[in-house]
Amino acid sequence: MKKNSTLKLIVLIVIVVLIALISFVGIYKLQNGQMVNIMPNYNLGKEFSGTRLFSFIVDDSTKEIKNEETETEEETAETTTVPVNSKEVLTESNYQLVKEILEKRLVNYGIIDYDLRVDKNTGTIALETVESTDLDDLLAFFISQGKFSILDAETNEVLLDNANIKEAKTMYYTNDDGTNVYLDIVFDEEGKAKLEEISKTYVETTDEEGNSTKKNVTIKLDDDTVTTTYFGQTMSTGELPLTIGTATTDANKLRDYLLQAGQIETLINNGMYPIVYTTDINEHISPIVTENILNKIVLGVIIVVALMTLYLIIKYKMSGIIAAISIVGYLALYLIMVRFTDTIMSLEAFAAIAISVIIQFVFVKRATNIVKEKPENAGKEINKEFLKSISIQIPLYIMAIVFVFVEWETIKSFGIALFWGLLVYLAYNYFITKPILMQKANIISANKE
| Annotated domain spans of the chain | 2-39+290-448, 51-285
Name the H helices within 128-273: 135-143, 189-201, 251-269
Q: Which of 20-24, 134-138, 308-312, 354-358 has the lowest mean pLDDT?
A: 134-138
Give dist(CA 385, CA 375) in Å, integer. Answer: 14
pLDDT given for residue 449 in this prediction: 61
DSSP string, 279-337: EEEEEEE--SS-HHHHHHHHHHHHHHHHHHHHHHHHHHHHHHHHHHHHHHHHHHHHHHH
For 368-394, what is each residue's pLDDT tens digit? 999 999 888 888 999 999 999 999 999
For 143-169, what is each residue's pLDDT tens digit? 999 999 999 998 889 999 999 999 999
Query: Which of 225, 188, 217 lies closest to 200, judged by CA?
Result: 217
SS3 state at 437: helix
| Angle at CA of residue 28, ends 26 and 32, nearest 5° | 145
The two beta strands, 51-58 and 125-130, are antiparallel
Residue bearing the bigger pLDDT, 77 or 362: 362
**Torsion angle in degrees (nearest 10) through CA of 298, 304, 306, 307:** 160
pLDDT given for residue 272 in this prediction: 94
Mean pLDDT of the chain: 89
For 254-265, what is each residue's pLDDT tens digit? 888 888 888 899
SS3 state at 357: helix
Q: What architecture is the 2-39+290-448 domain classified under in CATH?
A: Up-down Bundle (1.20)
Question: What is this structure's pTM?
Answer: 0.72
**pLDDT average, residue stretch 290-311:** 90
User: What is the share, in percent, of the chain residues with pLDDT greater than 70?
Assistant: 96
Query: Which of 385, 333, 332, 396 lies closest to 363, judged by CA?
Result: 385
For 73-102, what is each residue's pLDDT tens digit? 555 557 788 999 999 999 999 999 999 999
- DSSP H/E element including 43: strand 43-44
Query: Which of 120, 114, 92, 86 lies closest to 102, judged by CA?
Result: 114
For 313-354, what is each residue's pLDDT tens digit? 999 999 999 999 999 999 999 999 999 997 888 899 999 999
- DSSP H/E element including 219: strand 217-221
- 398-408 burial: b if 16+ Cβ within 10 Å, else e: ebbeebbeeee
Give dist(CA 37, CA 30) in Å, integer. Answer: 9
**pLDDT average, residue stretch 299-323:** 93
Query: Which of 310, 306, 313 lies closest to 331, judged by CA?
Result: 306
User: What is the share, in percent, of the chain residues with pLDDT greater than 90?
Assistant: 61
Give dist(CA 138, CA 299) in Å, integer. Answer: 35
Residue bearing the bigger pLDDT, 330 or 443: 330
**Contact (CB, 8 A) for 5 and 322:** no
For 224-270, what is each residue's pLDDT tens digit? 888 898 998 899 999 999 988 888 777 788 888 888 888 899 999 99
Which fold is adopted by the domain 51-285? Gyrase A; domain 2 (3.30.1360)
Query: Which of 45, 37, 1 lies closest to 21, judged by CA?
Result: 37
Burial class of residue 252, CB neighbours in 10 A (0-12, 13-18, 19+): exposed
